[in-house]
Structure 1
Amino acid sequence: MSSSDLNCGDGGGADTYTGLRIASVFVILATSSFGAFFPVLSKRSKWLRVPNGVFEFAKYFGSGVIVATAFIHLLSPAITELTSPCLAPAWQAYPYPLGLAMLSLYAIFIVEIIAFRVGMAKLAALGIKPDVHGYGVGSHAAHGPEGKSEDEKSASDLEASDPGHFDDSAMAQVLGVFILEFGVLLHSLLIGLTLAVDPNFKILFVVVVFHQMFEGLGIGSRLAFLRLSPRYSYIPFCGALLYAITTPVGIAAGLGVRSTYNPNGTTASIVSGVMDSLSAGILLYTGLVELMAHEFLFSKEMNKASTGKLAYALCCMLFGTGIMALLGRWA
């Protein structure tokens, strides 16, 4: 089979459903914004009161969404893209998608180690003894200072008792969410580019709408649970906004280069395959270590929780994983 039969050239994106593709920019902007902003606004605004149980559900559901995204929506497509027959035989000689995912996983792990050691040294210099399980990149998912959970000790209490400790903790939390969001944003941008030129637009459009909303809930719940002082209160909103606009920007860019961009072409397969692989490693580490381990194994609240609460949390997480994995059937 020749390269032309495989459509391995640089051009050739679909030019059907132009009006609907343009409308998809605004539809996905709305659904992504809802998913990302709803948890943040509900947690921080006085006029939008949502029961605590809704936040708990969103938090565990979001963890499951992130894990399924890593396996089904990133690693699997990366394997397909980097084993494409359009690529040179050298790409078939080694499992590059898995190797790149492993590389990014270790890179994030090393970043966390460095951040942990630097943060601990700073706290020691200030004469502060932190809770080891509450400090670090994953502290947004774990508990804060010894003896109190993140819901029991407010950001204002922390700032009043020890501004230096809160500043270090805030930096660690923001770094943890930034790592998570970075992996998701790469994925969202590629989704937008693909949606703009894919010939199977209608099916993909419906799937992406739900995909972005569920993934937005996962990101939004992480942002909502950040324990930040008033001077950092803008950070969760900036994170939600960045997530909300990334896929629409990708769609708009894809529409702009539709005559030259071929998602099945050699260059596109390599770029998207490498980015998907790296993003998969980031989300695998974040989902399995930062979210699952900290929320279930290192959480004082969960260690003391009843069997029923633990089972409920696990079911919420598995439900999020199942829904996101099911969407992988079509996209």
Structure 2
Amino acid sequence: MSDSSSLNCGSGGGATTYPQLRIASVFIILIGSTSGALFPVLAQRTKLFHVPKGVFDFAKFFGSGVIIATAFIHLLSPALDELGSPCLSPAWQQYPYALALAMLSIFSIFIVELVAFRWGTSKLAALGLTHDPHGHGLGAHAAHGPEHGASPTGLDDDSNSEKANEDIEAAHEHNHLDFHAAAQIIGVFILEFGVLLHSLLIGLTLAVDPNFKILFVVIIFHQTFEGLGIGSRLAYLRLPRQYNYVAVCAALLYGITTPLGIAIGLGFKSTYNPGSTTASIVSGVLDALSAGILLYTGLVELIAHEFIFNKDMINGSNGRIAYAITCMLFGTGIMALLGRWA
């Protein structure tokens, strides 16, 4: 540990070198982030692009690896450094707060999701519907309503009875689709929340960091790859037509977050310093919470659901499974390597 005379705790403002390039970085990263997140969504939902299914599969598994590496290397590791900084009071050194906050985040997301799914499943059960908690098929078994029998007039009326049954089944299926859509939207919100916090923080850091050039290049790749991971997941959302805007809005929100962070950092560059005590605490807490969110999402929602609970994977060929795992590890490796510089 450095002695107090050489310790730099970020007094004053941030770096002001390369002012024009820092301003340009807002637009350069906006293009990279938005393109990475929006391209898979548009390619899947419109006829503007003709992208083979194999490319989507690669992007999907690659993106899972990117998200997990982001959690460990780009969020949890910095959180440990920030909350363990010698600039903080000795009380921060007495307990691994970053790990505790990440654990708190994981269990909080788990409990919220468990309660939400139990409540939703009970509502569907009351309607005579079932839901697969692993998300592989809706498993709808709508009640068929009253059996064919006498009409109120005392005469058999098969056509009216069939019409009534169809109306009941349609209403049940509508409720089921609404629940399924809500479950997916909640999952997207959880994933986006963790990623957006991280994106905002690295934007703030880039705006005032003295090692701007190296960090700038790394963040361009970082945000593009992470955007590809987010976008490929958004592209696979199966939502009713009236909710199609959710995927596009989520991709655009991801695209503007880091540029927004850079713009805010440039606006407060005379007072904001990422090495200051306050900034270290705020960044460390948010990074730790975001790490827990992405760890839960990556390991449970992506890996477990995509491999262990996915019938296509369980019954698929060894080659398909090996390809999927290779794509995922490739994404993890690339994102982990970027952690060498940022």
Instruction: Give 1:12 shift.
Output: 2.6
Is the 2:68–2:294 contact (alpha carbons within 8 Å) kept by the matching residues of 1? yes
Instruction: Give 1:4 shift.
Output: 7.1
Name the SS of the counterpart of 1:26 in structure 2.
helix
1:304 paired with 2:315, answer yes
CA separation in 1, counterparts of 2:175 and 2:29?
Answer: 40
TM-score (normalised: structure 2): 0.89
Is the 2:69–2:336 contact (alpha carbons within 8 Å) kept by the matching residues of 1? yes
1:178 is aligned to: 189
CA separation in 2, counterparts of 1:159 and 1:218?
Answer: 35
1:14 paired with 2:15, answer yes
Structure 2 stretches lacking a partner, 5+ long? 141-168
CA separation in 1, counterparts of 2:101 and 2:267?
Answer: 30
1:105 is aligned to: 106
Name the SS of the counterpart of 1:162 in structure 2.
helix
Instruction: Give 1:119 shift.
Output: 1.0
1:54 is aligned to: 55
Structure 2 CA distance for partners of 1:303 and 1:161, relative to 1, 3 Å: farther
Q: How many residues align?
A: 313
Which of 244, 259, 272 matches 2:270? 259
Is the 2:205–2:262 contact (alpha carbons within 8 Å) kept by the matching residues of 1? yes
Instruction: Give 1:8 shift.
Output: 2.2
- Output one character per residue of 1:48-76: Cα deviation in whole Å (capped at 9) or x when no partner: 11101111111100000000000000000
CA separation in 2, counterparts of 1:6 and 1:14?
Answer: 17
2:158 is aligned to: none
2:137 is aligned to: 144
1:212 paired with 2:223, answer yes
Which of 239, 252, 261 matches 1:228? 239
Name the SS of the counterpart of 2:331 in structure 1.
helix
Which structure 2 residues correspond to residues 31-70 of structure 1 after superposition, within 5 A?
31-70=32-71
CA separation in 2, counterparts of 1:193 and 1:118?
Answer: 39
- Output one character per residue of 1:24-53: Cα deviation in whole Å (capped at 9) or x when no partner: 000000000111001000000112111011
Is the 1:3–1:9 contact (alpha carbons within 8 Å) kept by the matching residues of 2? no
- Output one character per residue of 1:246-279: Cα deviation in whole Å (capped at 9) or x when no partner: 0000000000000101110000000000000000
CA separation in 1, counterparts of 2:13 and 2:133?
Answer: 54
1:164 paired with 2:171, answer no
Is the 2:13–2:270 contact (alpha carbons within 8 Å) kept by the matching residues of 1? yes
- Output one character per residue of 1:116-161: Cα deviation in whole Å (capped at 9) or x when no partner: 1011011111111222322xxxxxxxx22249xxxxxxxxxx9898
Give the CA RMSD over aligned residues: 1.6
Is the 2:129–2:172 contact (alpha carbons within 8 Å) kept by the matching residues of 1? no
CA separation in 1, counterparts of 2:10 and 2:56?
Answer: 47
CA separation in 2, counterparts of 1:17 and 1:3?
Answer: 30
Is the 1:77–1:273 contact (alpha carbons within 8 Å) kept by the matching residues of 2? yes
2:260 is aligned to: 249
- Please say which of residues 47-56 and 249-258 is displaced more in the overlay: 47-56
Question: How much identity, in percent, do the aligned residues show?
Answer: 71
CA separation in 1, counterparts of 2:214 and 2:293?
Answer: 28
1:90 paired with 2:75, answer no
TM-score (normalised: structure 1): 0.92
1:321 is aligned to: 332
1:125 is aligned to: 126
1:137 is aligned to: none
1:52 maps to a residue whose letter is: K
Instruction: Give 1:3 shift.
Output: 5.9
Is the 2:130–2:138 contact (alpha carbons within 8 Å) kept by the matching residues of 1? no
1:51 maps to a residue whose letter is: P
